[in-house]
Amino acid sequence: MRAAVLGCGTMGAVHAKSYAKLKNVELVGVCDVEKDEADRLADGYGTTAYSRFEDLLSGERPDVVSICLPTSLHCTYTVMAAEAGVHVICEKPVSSTAKEAEMMDVVCRSNKVHLFIAHVGRFFPAYIDVARQIAAGVIGKPGVAHASRIGPHPGLMKNWYNDERHSGGVIMDLMIHDIDYMRSVLGEVRSVYAQRRTLPHLDYAWVTLRFEQGTIANLEGMWGYPGPFQTAMEFAGDRGILHANSEKAKSVVIRQDGGVGRMSTTGTDDRTHTPIVLRKSPEFETAYERELSHFIQCIQFGDQPKITFQDACNASRIARAALHSAYSGDSVNMKGFEEKEGAFR
């Protein structure tokens, strides 16, 4: 499988590194309008650098391309790749608008190429493990969930992040990972309420999702945190609590009611004598490799992707609803919002 990368910034470098490690995949070229960035990335992986996407397509004839560009450019270059008969793996979010998403889907279908949206959050071992535990009923019925995703402001390195027309801000670009994940675990969202504060080099948002099945999830996203990037999540059910925190441990912690004895435990909370289960998660540095390998397999064997195009559209729609709520100060009913927006289906 011949793979190429369009966009040689942070995510483009991650995709290039991952392709270089995958068996039966050859990284045949990288492309960026900033030729110096393309040259540096190409030199690191022994491939060819381009400054024009058209030249990469005609010169290398890749089977698949990773689009790692600002969100506002996803539609244009997805269409260009599809019309050249190239499969597309596009970084999240899918697009800036529902109309653009529909165009991407229509053009890829008409040219018989696959279109995948890279929501890598679902490929991290801790997130996979938590989803499995909830599905297995380990904590009973989830009632409340929390997720946090914070880190330095990317606009300090790439100016386009500072322009919301291109990035969508912290909600669309960063928090969308947790929006997609929560929806994958808890089902459809009924309503969205958001608060947001922006300052130079600070973008902070707090979003509350109410799900159709009753669970409430509070999501925190921040660009401008004066420390390392980190994530955390917690699910509380009627039989226990699940914790995962990238800073404290690479493991999933399960706290259950003392009456639940069917699982072996590795410890006890000294204050409450509540059984604690520590589930060690594997190192998650290869989540991107796992994601790209999965998409390549879907292309080769026609498998259904774990994250469908519709999943990506739904996550973007919820993010747009959160932005609308943050600007208006009102809670957004998703059914009404879908009708008003003319949502892509």
Where is pLDDT greater, at 272 or 192?
192
Question: Of 149, 271, 128, which is closest to residue 204 (Cα–Cα)?
Answer: 149
269, pLDDT greater than 70: no
* Structure tokens, 245: 């925190």
Domains 2-118 and 122-280 share a fold: no
Tokens standing for 136?
Answer: 């297995």
Per DSSP, the residues of 86-99 read -EEEEESS--SSHH
Task: Please state, as a whole number, how many other Cβ atoms lie within 10 Å of the Cβ of residue 16.
Answer: 23
- The reported pLDDT for the residue numbered 38 is 98
* CATH architecture type of domain 2-118: 3-Layer(aba) Sandwich (3.40)
Q: What is the mean pLDDT of residues 315-329?
A: 96
Q: Where are the domains of the chain?
A: 2-118, 122-280
Q: How far apart are CA 274 and CA 267, in angstroms?
A: 9
pTM: 0.89
pLDDT digits (tens, 9 = 90+) for 277-303: 544 444 434 899 999 999 999 999 999
Count of Cβ atoms closer than 10 Å to residue 56 Cβ: 26
94: Cβ contacts below 8 Å, ≥ 6 apart: 74, 101, 104, 117, 309, 312, 313, 315, 316
Q: Can you state the angle between helices 176-186 and 309-328, rounded to 10 degrees?
A: 120
Query: How far is the C-alpha of 198 from the C-alpha of 208, rounded, in Å?
Result: 18
Q: Mind listing the pLDDT tens digit for each residue in 214-261?
A: 999 999 999 999 999 999 999 999 999 999 999 876 568 888 765 433
How far apart, in Å, are the Cα atoms of 174 and each of 133, 179, 185, 243, 315?
25, 9, 18, 20, 12
Task: Look up the CATH architecture of domain 122-280.
Answer: 2-Layer Sandwich (3.30)
